[in-house]
Structures are given as C-alpha cells and as structure tokens.
Amino acid sequence: MKRILPLILILCSMGIQAQTLPSWQEGWFDIHHISTGKGECQFLVFPDGTTMVIDCGDMTGQGKGWAHSKALPDSSKTPPQWAARYIDTFSPTPGRIDYVLISHFHSDHMGHISASKDGEHGYRLSGITELAEYERIGTLVDRGYPRYDYPSVEVVEKQCAMMADYKKFVTFKTINEGMKAEQFKLGSKKQFRTQSGAWDFKVWNVAVNLRAVKKGRLFKKEENILKFDENMFSCVQLFTYGPFKYYSGGDFPGSNLAALKFERYYETPVADIVGKCDVVKADHHGYRDSTNPYFLWKTEPDAIIVDAAEASHPRRETVERITDPQYRGRRDIYTTSEAGRAKMGEDAWNKIKGTGHIVVRVYEGGKSWQVFVLDAASTDYHVLQSSEVYQTRKK
C-alpha cells in the first residue's frame, strides 16, 4: 500500500494538470486562436513575453451563415469582452497588448456596425475598437494607415461599415493615450519583434496590398484594382522561432471564385516565398478558395488551424483537399467553431482533429511544439485534448 499510494498521488496530480493549460514560460512561443463564435481573433505571446493580437471581429446580429454560429461561451458578454477575458487569463501582462495587427478591413476581423454600441469618445465600439476599452494597445498596425486610400477611400469604406469609426478610434488613441499607429511594412522583420535580441525569433511581413517580397506586384497591370475585394489586400506574415515556422495570412485568396472574373491564385507565389511550415492558419477560414493544391504542396504543414464562425467555414472540399494523402505533412485540421459542421456533413467533419480555442505551444528554441484544444463553451478554458509533442522538422 505504501508503494501504491505515491503512484496514485502522481496519477491524480497528472490528471489535474491535464485539465488546465500550463502557464506560459519565458522561452515559449504561444499562438492562441480564440473562439468567440462571432469573428476571428488570434493572441500570440513571443518567447520574451511580448504580446500580439491579430484581428478581433464581431459579427453579432448578422444573419445567413453567421446565424449558425452561437456566441461562445455564451451571449452574456460581447465577443471582445470574452476575448479580453481570455487574453488576460493567458497573458504575462494582463491589460496590455504590445502589438495589434488588423489583417484587412472586413467586419469579421475588426467589428461590424450591427454589433456596435456607443462609445465615450466619438466612435462606436465593436470588435477591435471595443477590445481597446479593456486592453491598452502599444502599437496598432494595419494595411492603410494613415490615409486609408488604397485602392481608394471609397472602396475601403464600402468594404467595412465600421471604417469611419475605426479611423476616429485610431486618431483618439494616438493623440490621447499614446498608442502608436503604423502602416504594415512589406518585407520588414523588425516591425513586430521581441524586446530582447536574445531569441532566434522573427516576424516577417511577406505580403500586403497584393504585393509580396521577392515578387513585387502580384496582380496584372491591366486589372482594375478598384473591383478587387478586401480579402485580396490581406497582410501575410511568417513567424519563425529557430527551425519552427508558422504562417498567418488573414483572408488571402488561393483560387478563383465563380462569381469573380479576376485572378485569385495568390497563395501560389506566396507559397514559394514561405516554403515549408510546421503550422498554417488556413486562409479565408478554410473557404473554397483557401489552401490551394500548390500551397499545400509547398508548405507541407503538419497542422492547419481554421478560424471559423460561419456555416461555410471550412468548406467540405477544402477539408477533403487538405486531407488528401498526396500532399506531404501530417495535415491535422483544427477549427475554432462547429458552425460549418451541418453543411460539411459528418463524414468530412470527422476528419477534423479538434474544435475549441486552439493553442499551438512552441517550446524553447522552436525545436518542438504541441497543440492544445481548450473548451470554448466553458469559462475555465479546460483542456479537451492535447497532441503529442512534435519535433520540429528540418527545412
């Protein structure tokens, strides 16, 4: 009995630890895909504790496909309030975010007017403008600051009904609260960085406004960019930590859509630039124009995260393409929402590895990593499942 009791205590201890994500430690790179059911939001902690948020959308009140996704964990708080609570739970600096990037100007990435409420400073609160009520932002970066005139002011404002309020928000925060605002710098590896140079960690700005490093302009000169949709202008980044590589590209398109006449195979040249990746955030929520065959072939991801909160995200054909055995890499799929489950069908849905808050934890030096799925329907964020610890592949 004396020999058995310590073993029982150890097993119990291991069981308790397995229910909660261990706190971030210096030297780890954490990538959180937050599930609110109403928009996209990523929270990242760099190896030195520098924090970054990519997008904070809110499509509350929208119908059609968005109505199929319930607010998570419930509707007692707004999605930005839930996002702030989540961030403060896992952040080494609660109440402050060092960097915020808006990948592009669509409501599911920055907030919708239907979900907004009056603010105290002359602009409405929804998505990122509301998140900033609870989190102090150090530097905000987007593709259009300060003029917001590419491809034109009219086109930008047509793409997002919150644009006028967003610009007022940027002006107020920079003048009154010391927030810095910058335009996304194509090719830079220093715009987003650790505060200490002790880590082999880089954030590379690969593409924006349909221009890419090494490639230049991606669209044909004769094409009318005033007709392009906002997804095409998304900010694309590659995060590297030692040998580990993570791709994030907003809603960057990878193939043509039947309703649109112009070229959209832009994932293809970008795949040549980024090469093999360990983890990829699926472009455009795993819609049909996401993760095209060439992109899958070149990046060879072991895990693909789909930030989804709409009935068509991810699409059945995208899931089937990702899991096609002809492509290299493990290609485990994780999603942040079950909104697309009914439309996809159970046979395709069963190819999804896990659903909830998806956390990729990269261990010291980027030599190994692991995926955790946290319960998005609860308020304690307990661990539903965890992958094995994978060794980062040589590239």
Query: Stretch 291-313: mean pLDDT, rounded?
Result: 96
How much is the pLDDT for 261? 74
pLDDT at residue 167 is higher than 60: yes
Q: How far is CA 10 from each of CA 117, 251, 279, 281, 382, rounded to the nearest angstrom?
A: 50, 45, 33, 36, 20
pLDDT 10s digits, 218-230: 999 999 999 999 9
Q: What is the Cα–Cα distance from 132 to 81, expressed in whole angstroms?
A: 10
Query: Stretch 353-370: mean pLDDT, rounded?
Result: 98
Query: Stretch 168-196: mean pLDDT, rounded?
Result: 97
Say what the pTM is.
0.94
Query: Stretch 341-368: mean pLDDT, rounded?
Result: 97
The one-character DSSP state at 105 is S
pLDDT at residue 45 is higher than 50: yes
Does residue 230 contact residue 262 with C-beta atoms inside 8 Å? Answer: no
Handedness of CA 20, 358, 41, 392 (dihedral sign): positive
How much is the pLDDT for 21? 98
Parse the chain into domains and list their residue ranges: 26-391
| Element housing 99 (H / E) | strand 96-101
For residue 64, name the pLDDT band (cuts at 50, 70, 90): confident
How much is the pLDDT for 7? 37
pLDDT at residue 4 is higher than 50: no
Q: What is the Cα–Cα distance from 287 to 298, expressed in whole angstroms?
A: 19
Higher pLDDT, 65 or 10: 65
Question: Of 184, 234, 231, 182, whose CA–CA distance to 204 is shortest?
Answer: 184
**Residue 6, Cβ neighbours under 10 Å: how many?**
9
pLDDT 10s digits, 9-31: 333 444 444 489 999 999 999 99
Return the structure tokens found at 315: 């699409």
Q: Which residues contact 171 (CB under 8 A, 6 or more apart)?
A: none
Q: What is the Cα–Cα distance from 209 to 218, expressed in whole angstroms?
A: 9
Q: Which residues contact 309 (CB under 8 A, 6 or more apart)?
A: 35, 36, 37, 38, 39, 40, 59, 66, 69, 108, 285, 336, 337, 339
Place of tokens 């924006």: 208
How much is the pLDDT for 263? 82
For residue 197, name the pLDDT band (cuts at 50, 70, 90): confident
How much is the pLDDT for 1? 37
CATH architecture type of domain 26-391:
4-Layer Sandwich (3.60)
The one-character DSSP state at 331 is -
For residue 381, name the pLDDT band (cuts at 50, 70, 90): very high
pLDDT at residue 76 is higher than 80: yes
Q: CA angle 30-31-34, nearest 5°?
A: 125
Hey, which residues does 217 pair with through a beta bridge?
Answer: 211
Return the structure tokens found at 294: 């060439």
Question: Helix H segments across 300-390?
Answer: 316-322, 341-344, 346-349
Query: Stretch 306-331: mean pLDDT, rounded?
Result: 95
**Residue 263, Cβ neighbours under 10 Å: how many?**
14
Query: Stretch 146-155: mean pLDDT, rounded?
Result: 97
pLDDT 10s digits, 90-125: 999 999 999 999 999 999 999 999 999 999 999 999
pLDDT at residue 250 is higher than 80: yes
Q: How far is CA 259 from each of CA 229, 256, 262, 288, rounded to the nearest angstrom?
A: 12, 9, 10, 13
